[in-house]
Structure 1
Amino acid sequence: MFDEKAIGSLVDKVAKKKPRRVFLQYPEGLKLSIFDISEKLERLGAEVFISCDPCFGSCDMKDLEAKALGCDLLVHIGHTEMKLPRKTAVPAIYEDYRIDIDPTHLLDEHIQALGPCESICLVTTAQYISAIEPAKRFLEEHGKKVYVGQPSLAKHPGQILGCDHSAAEPFDNMVDCFLFLGTGRFHPLGLAAKVKKTVLVLDFETSVLENMNSERDMMVRIKTMQIEKAKEMKRFGVLVSTKPGQSHPGTAEKVKKRLKGKGKDARILVMDQITPEKILGMKIDALVNCSCPRLSEDFRQFKKPILDPEDVDRL
């Protein structure tokens, strides 16, 4: 939940814009705070329109919907700003959600396990970005060479997204391992799929230091199986999202052309939130994901092979 200090900071930012009508967007985890936030914004004299659609990141800005409703400000809560392919249709304020945590006590517990890693690249997600500096300082004090990269799409040094691992990838040949600080599997597994070196996770919920190598190997085996199945398929759906940070129509056109060059029938399928239910009844044998990488991780929901654009060359 957002605490009073965070809400006060947000209200101050909105007050400076003097909006007449505000479109409020937030992730599922902050739903309990949203009425309190909207009430305080309305005290500024603005009408607040609360979005009830799922929100998966700053790639998922509902700025066109905000404009259609006559809103003159979009308030996007819970994520940091990222570089989008276009300017938002209405002015936007980003209020990210931070969890302040000092990771040094956990690092101290696991420092021996980090022994083989003389050089380390640190990464995390937006909510734990404050853990980067104390972790870097602690590891350097224990003789480690520590790298923190600047991302191309994300906002903060060391920050990775599901679609942006640029804070880490350039260091693959320079470090012994990558150390993810935070919680969850999606982000560290996504990184493990992009780099050759070991990805370790210092989990703030379980206090465990975990190696992603076995799960990466499993991902490779599953991907190989899906590609082998897809080789026998004839009809392909190329998935495109209309979410501004997930929309890659040019990539979809190239994928369709490559599929046709391999003798496949391909159609570009467009939707906002991509779900299996929306393609039920369509005569499609396999899918190529040109949207959020998380879709490829959730392949079991689609009950058919779902490939990434680079996999098409292996068909």
Structure 2
Amino acid sequence: MAASGRVGSVAPVAAAARGPVRHVAQQIPEEILGNTELREAAEALPRNYNFEIPKTIWRIRQAQARKVALQMPEGLLMFACTIADIVERFTGAEAVVMGDVTYGACCVDDYTARALGADFLVHYGHSCLIPIDATQGLKMLYVFVDIKIDTSHFLETIRFNFAAGTSLALVSTIQFVSTVQAASQELRSQYKVCVPQCKPLSPGEILGCTSPRLAQDIDAVVYLGDGRFHLESIMIANPGIPAYRYDPYSKVFSQEHYGHERMRRARQDAIRTATGAHCWGLILGTLGRQGSPRILQHLELRLRALGRPFVRVLLSEIFPSKLRLFPDVDAWVQVACPRLSIDWGEAFSKPLLTPYEAAVALQDIEWQQPYPMDFYASQSLGPWTVNHASAQPPRRGRPAQVGSMASPGHRVSPGQRVPSLSLCCWWLCRVEGTGGGGIGAGCTPGAVWCPVPYGAWCRTVPSAVQCLVPYAARCHTVRSAVCCLVLYGAWCCALPGAVPSAIQCAVAHAAWCHIAPGAIQYAVPYGAV
């Protein structure tokens, strides 16, 4: 979403062949852009802060909103009353300022806004972590609040401190991303400049919980911004790369350091203690959208599969004194902010794990080095992150591609390439003869090709199947049978006494399948067949 004075609207598609309906840019009406009174009112705000007032007014009018909630971090609350006055004056809608603490876009509080009777929410200062079509019963607008700074001083500082030819990665928060991108163009003639992206974030943008892994040939990370919270994220993800910070307000350039060994030791100690826990506590953060019900559900399924008792606790703020009120809980997993455990975990008397650390404690995955900072990353490590593939519903409006999915019981002739299957398939594909390909599968005569969700694959060996499955799930061959522990506690067992060459599968959410000679009969979660 750029600060370009344009907003998205739905345009009709002339022909079905063009695909689904898409969003196109629509110009803000001249009556708003050319409104002298609106421009004069906006001059009460800092000129180097882009609050996108014309676009905000246009979107509120377009939505015919009657009550608008304004949510912003504490650093911008000083401008809230001015913006509220402008909104009420030029839209006729009532404006409400939401004053609760807002740490990031994960704290988008559409639930409270709706409870207050608002039908439109404007969230300032953060990127679009929560899709605007996912808010509850109201329309929404993100305003990044792009901040203009003295770019020339930033560039001179880089040139003074780094020799020509140095490989640099430039990163920042959303307020300064446009400056970082412009600066990268200026520096490319002298340096090897990288503006890394960790989707769904913008190029150059990092969060306190989400940062990209950089190539090993990067000589230094340069962070443009005040404070260390976000910078520490990319430092944790890239412990071997020196990090520097340029403060755009004080114009101070400094090298920053992080206690990687101490952090690793503290987190591994917490995981080790939690491994022997009997009763687990699962905390769902209720500060805006900070908590992820999908991650909570994943944790519940894993603990149930392991026979571990647990209790759910909903909290907007997590304090040691609060958790001490639950003496029977031996270990906690908080689905709120990973940095709470990383930065403050030692302040708690019981282990306070992130969902990733819980996966390590439950032996779903090995300890990762470096520590993964992928909580909102699209290409994340596992279902203990918000945007992992397992949490994404099928995309609507996209026409099906012919031949992109194998039908249940599909037989493959010798030498024929195995058809690709969608990541969401839960069935097995019977392969006869020799064939290969498709998600890393290697097939031998009489073998079973197992396409398992999220990039897991099976490699066949003579009269057996050896499977690499995500999250420490595993398959073991028992004589001519295969017993598979699959993610979420689902399992498949081909029992010696079962129907010849049949596999009986008990899959998560009570789905099951029976494979008999030459056919597959299956029932998939939620009643789909």
> TM-score per shorter chain, which class?
0.7 to 0.9
Higher relative contact order (CA 8 A, sep 6+): 1
1:63 positional shift: 1.4
Q: Over residues 200-240 of structure 1, what are the superposed CA-to-partner deviations in whole Å (9 max), with x where a residue is unaligned?
A: 1223146233143x422332222223223434543322222
Distance in structure 2 (CA, Å) of the matches to 1:221 and 1:280: 23
Report how far residue 125 of structure 1 moved. Answer: 0.7
1:99 is aligned, of 132, 142, 147, to 147
> Match of 1:224, SS?
helix
Contact 1:256/1:268 (8 A) holds in 2: no
- Number of residues of Structure 1 aligned to a counterpart in Structure 2: 306
Contact 1:248 1:291 survives alignment (8 Å): yes
| Residue equivalent to 2:85 | 39
Shift of 1:74: 0.7
Q: How does 1:133-144 map to 2 (within 5 A)?
A: 133-142=181-190, 144=191
Q: Secondary structure at the match of 1:23?
A: strand
Of Structure 1 and Structure 2, the greater strand share is in 2
Distance 1:147 1:226, change over 3 A: same
Q: Identify which of 72, 81, 88 aligns with 2:119.
A: 72
Give the Å deviation of 1:69.
2.4
Residues 77-121 of structure 1: per-residue CA shift (max 9 Å, x gap): 222323549611211122222332312122123214xx7x84332
- Counterpart residue identity of residue 182, structure 1: G
Structure 1's unaligned 5+ residue stretches are: none
Aligned to 2:281: 237
User: Once the 2 structures are TM-superposed, how far is the Cα of residue 4 of structure 1 from its aligned partner?
Assistant: 5.6
Determine if the alignment matches structure 1 residue 53 to structure 2 residue 100: yes
CA distance in 1, matches of 2:192, 2:317: 42
Corresponding residue for residue 145 of structure 1: 192
- Separation in structure 2 between the aligned mates of residue 8 and residue 244 of structure 1, nearest angstrom: 22
2:227 match? 184
Tell me, yes or no, if the aligned pair for 2:282 and 2:313 is still in contact at 8 Å. yes
Deviation at 1:157, TM superposition (A): 1.3
Alignment CA distance shift 1:277-1:46 (3 Å) = farther
Which residue of structure 1 lines up, in the alignment, with residue 261 of structure 2? 217
Alpha-carbon distance, 1:192 to partner: 2.4
Compare 256-265 and 50-59 and name the one that shifted more.
Answer: 256-265
Q: Which of 323, 336, 355 does residue 309 from structure 1 map onto?
A: 355
Return closer, same or farther for 1:7/1:105 CA change in 2, 3 Å cut-off.
Answer: closer
Q: Distance in 2 between matches of 1:125 and 1:83?
A: 17
2:313, 2:46 → 1: CA distance? 41
Aligned to 1:30: 76
What is the Cα deviation at residue 25 of structure 1?
0.8
SS of aligned partner of 2:221: strand
**For residue 13 of structure 1, what is the amino acid of its counterpart?**
T
Greater Cα shift, 33-42 or 174-183: 174-183
Which amino acid is the alignment partner of residue 311 of structure 2?
Answer: R
Is the 1:85–1:244 Cα contact (8 Å) retained in structure 2?
A: no
Cα RMSD, aligned residues only: 3.0
1:139-178 Cα offsets, whole Å, 9 max, x none, are 4232x22222333232x2111122332xx32x43453443
CA distance in 2, matches of 1:207, 1:68: 44
Q: Corresponding residue for 2:252?
A: 207
The alpha carbon displacement at 1:65 in A equals: 2.0
CA gap 1:206/1:48 in 2 versus in 1, 3 angstroms: same
Which structure dedicates a bigger proportion of its chain to helix?
A: 1
For the 8 Å contact 1:198–1:211, the answer to whether it is kept is no
1:120, 1:196 → 2: CA distance? 15
**Alignment partner of 2:159 out of 94, 108, 126:** 108
How far residue 23 of structure 1 moved from its aligned partner, in angstroms, is 0.9
TM-score by length of 2: 0.52
Q: 8 Å contact 1:238–1:252 — kept in the other structure? A: yes
Identity across the alignment (%): 27
Contact 1:58 / 1:80 at 8 angstroms: preserved in 2?
Answer: yes
Q: Is the 8 A contact 2:132 2:140 kept in 1?
A: no
TM-score (norm 1): 0.83
Out of 290, 313, 316, the position equivalent to 1:246 is 290
Contact 2:332 2:352 in 1 (8 A): yes
Once residues 30 and 51 of structure 1 are traced to their aligned partners in structure 2, the CA distance between those partners, rounded to angstroms, is 12
**Residues 271-309 of structure 1: CA deviation (Å, up to 9, x unaligned):** 344444543411233322322223222324544322222
